[in-house]
Amino acid sequence: MTTIKICGLQTVEHALTAAQWADWLGLVFAPSRRQVTVAQAVSIVQAVRQHDPESCVRFVGLFVHASVVSINEIVRTCQLDYVQLAGDETLAQAEGICCPVIKVIRMRDDPNEQAWLALMHANPPSLPLATCPYIIDADQAGRYGGTGKLADWQRAAMLAQRARITLAGGLTPENVAAAIMQVRPWGVDVSSGVEIDGMKDHQRIVAFAMAVRAVENCLEVA
The amino acid at 152: D
Length of the chain: 222
Tens of pLDDT, residues 87-121: 999 998 898 999 999 999 988 878 888 899 888 77
Q: Are 155 and 139 in contact (CB under 8 A)?
A: no
> Exactly one of 7, 23, 78, 189 is catalytic; which is it?
7
Reply yes or no: is the peptide bond before residue 124 cis, omega within 30 of 0.
yes
Give the pLDDT of residue 139. 77
**Does pLDDT of 55 surpass 60?**
yes
Is there a catalytic annotation at residue 110?
A: no
Number of domains in the chain: 1
Helix, strand, coil percent content, the chain, rounded in steps of 5: 40, 20, 40
What sign does the CA torsion over 206, 209, 215, 219 have?
negative
Distance CA 222, CA 204 (A): 27
Beta carbons within 10 angstroms of residue 161's beta carbon: 9
> Exactly one of 23, 78, 137, 189 is catalytic; which is it?
137
Q: Are 86 and 64 in contact (CB under 8 A)?
A: yes
* Structural domain boundaries enclosing 57: 3-221
| pTM, to two decimals | 0.93
Is there a catalytic annotation at residue 7?
A: yes
Give the pLDDT of residue 221. 53
What sign does the CA torsion over 55, 174, 135, 163 have?
positive
Strand partners, 83: 61, 101
For 184, phi and psi rounded to 5 degrees?
55, 55
Domain containing residue 139: CATH number: 3.20.20.70
